[in-house]
């Protein structure tokens, strides 16, 4: 067997209360972890002395734009960005063109990901045909998969909420029978119609149409009730509003099977950023207020919000150079997630390191039930060799020109950061991450 040993690292897996100086021996031919321990020997040695050696990170909310909008990103460039950013697994959204609403479309995602040979890519399928919100898509066929692929791992119409309660109720019932989670972009489109940012004093000062947090809260509240009715699992995408966090907290206390994710930008940036009309701050859900940030962080700390996810949403530079009102929504995150959150939350003492790692590993795996597809977010002997190695102390400047993503729409550009991923191991294959790219310069 050919082997690689990660030498002298700080092996860190909070789910197993693991925090010790150890080596990890990787069996490259099998793609698994052969041993975790001291004085291990291998054919290739990578010195990771004192570096944090974690389970491979998972980002369960990314947009890779293929098919249809490959000028923004492709499965190949997106999965290259993932491993460069420290992520061994990503879950892609189905709002491509055409949308991923058939088993053939899902199979194509797996094929392209395999050809790219970088991160593990698991696609979600649409809830409704054509993402039109009217008629349920073929959830059973998409979940079944074909050609040995596991099929759609969850269902969402992300980019939009499913407007009708009856369709949504059926979606929960089918998904439950199929052992899949329904993932909702929570927005009442009637209430947000014509709005392009958060409704508050900033939108009023700028004279721009905003939409209130209530638009998010209404759908979160509705879906909590529908999920309970069907005894189904409901995952709230990119939670951003204070009231939505409270709704999830109350529902969990009542035993409803609801989980939630929050994106780094909703923990770090407010609508004040929009005052300069820079479209890099335009996204949906929009940047909200400091009290929303505080509630999201509190929710992440107390477990109301289960995990982190980037909502990596690439656009071309031309599109993002339009006027604020005309530019598309979204920012990229795969290559900034780790450095930005380590710098601004973990090193700042606002988020414990163990919670940060858990929120990118076991927690997202649990939210979508990815262990049944072989991804648990843990470091285990004989388990997949999916590993993220992080230098907690590396000081660097975030420059989107270093990114492997096709896109550059990153609001954290130019930030001075402390902490970066160095290597991402996927199934025993070692990829250099952005911390290595920076130190090579
Ligand atoms: Zn969304």
- Average pLDDT on 139-145 reads 94
d(CA 279, CA 265): 14
pLDDT for residue 348: 98
pLDDT band at 440 (very low <50, low <70, confident <90, very high): confident
Instruction: Give mean pLDDT, residues 20-27.
Output: 98
**CA 260 to ligand 1 centroid distance, Å:** 13
Q: What is the mean pLDDT of residues 349-361?
A: 98
Confidence of residue 245 (pLDDT cuts 50, 70, 90): very high
Residue 438 and residue 433: Cα distance in Å, rounded? 9
pLDDT at 157: 98
Position of tokens 């570096």?
51
Q: Which of the residues 311, 326, 399, 432 is marked catalytic?
A: 311
Does the pLDDT value for residue 275 go beyond 90? Answer: yes
Residue where the block lists tokens 């947009």? 63
For the chain, the maximum distance between any two Cα atoms, rounded to a whole number of angstroms, is 65
Distance 347 CA to ligand 1 centre (A): 29
The pLDDT score that the predictor gives to residue 441 is 73
* DSSP 8-state secondary structure symbol assigned to residue 15: G
Residue 21 Cα to ligand 1 middle (Å): 40
Active site residue 97: no
pLDDT band at 158 (very low <50, low <70, confident <90, very high): very high
Average pLDDT score over the chain: 97
User: Contact 30/4 with Cβ under 8 angstroms?
Assistant: no
pLDDT value of residue 90: 98
pLDDT tens, position by position, 39-82: 999 999 999 999 999 999 999 999 999 999 999 999 999 999 99
CA 404, 436, 54, 44 dihedral sign is positive
Closest CA to 41 of 79, 87, 5, 83: 5
The model's pTM is 0.98
CA of 329 to the centre of ligand 1 (A): 10
CA–CA distance, 407 with 316 (Å, rounded to integer): 6
Q: How far is the CA of 327 from the centre of ligand 1 (A)?
A: 16
Question: What's the 287 CA to ligand 1 centre distance in angstroms?
Answer: 13
pLDDT tens digits, 395-416: 999 999 999 999 999 999 999 9
């Amino acid at each position: 067997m050919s082997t690689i040993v990660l030498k002298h690292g700080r092996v860190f897996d909070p789910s197993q209360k693991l925090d010790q100086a150890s080596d990890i021996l990787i069996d490259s031919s099998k793609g698994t972890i052969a041993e975790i321990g001291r004085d291990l020997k291998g054919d290739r040695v990578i010195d990771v002395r004192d570096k944090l050696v974690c389970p491979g990170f998972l980002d369960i909310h990314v947009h890779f734009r293929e098919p249809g909008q490959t000028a923004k990103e492709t499965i190949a460039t997106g999965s290259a960005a993932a491993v460069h950013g420290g992520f061994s697994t990503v879950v892609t959204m189905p709002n491509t063109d055409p949308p991923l609403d058939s088993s053939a479309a899902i199979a194509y995602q797996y094929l392209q990901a395999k050809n790219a040979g970088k991160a593990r890519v698991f696609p979600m399928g649409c809830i409704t045909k054509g993402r039109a919100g009217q008629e349920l898509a073929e959830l059973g066929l998409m979940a079944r998969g074909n050609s040995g692929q596991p099929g759609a791992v969850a269902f969402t119409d992300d980019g939009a909420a499913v407007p009708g309660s009856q369709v949504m109720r059926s979606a929960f019932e089918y998904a439950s029978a199929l052992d899949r989670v329904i993932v909702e972009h929570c927005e009442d489109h009637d209430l947000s119609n014509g709005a392009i940012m958060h409704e508050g004093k900033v939108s009023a000062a700028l004279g721009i149409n905003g939409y209130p947090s209530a638009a998010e809260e209404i759908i979160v509240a509705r879906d909590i009730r529908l999920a309970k009715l069907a005894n189904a699992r409901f995952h709230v995408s990119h939670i951003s509003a204070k009231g939505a966090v409270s709704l999830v907290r109350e529902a969990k206390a009542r035993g409803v099977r609801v989980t939630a994710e929050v994106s780094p930008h909703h923990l770090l940036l407010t609508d004040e950023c929009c005052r300069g009309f820079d479209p890099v701050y335009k996204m949906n859900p929009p940047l909200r207020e400091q009290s929303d940030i505080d509630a999201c962080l509190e929710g992440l700390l107390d477990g109301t919000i289960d995990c982190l996810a980037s909502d990596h949403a690439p656009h071309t530079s031309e599109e993002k150079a339009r006027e604020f009102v005309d530019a598309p929504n979204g920012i990229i995150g795969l290559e900034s997630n780790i450095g930005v959150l380590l710098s601004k939350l973990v090193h700042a003492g606002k988020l414990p390191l163990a919670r940060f790692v858990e929120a990118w590993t076991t927690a997202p795996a649990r939210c979508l039930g990815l262990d049944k597809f072989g991804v648990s977010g843990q470091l285990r002997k004989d388990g997949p060799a999916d590993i993220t190695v992080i230098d907690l102390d590396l000081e660097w400047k975030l420059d989107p020109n270093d990114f492997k993503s096709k896109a550059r729409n990153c609001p954290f550009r130019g930030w001075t950061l402390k902490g970066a991923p160095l290597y991402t191991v996927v199934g025993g294959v070692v990829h250099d991450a952005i911390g290595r790219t920076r130190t090579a310069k």
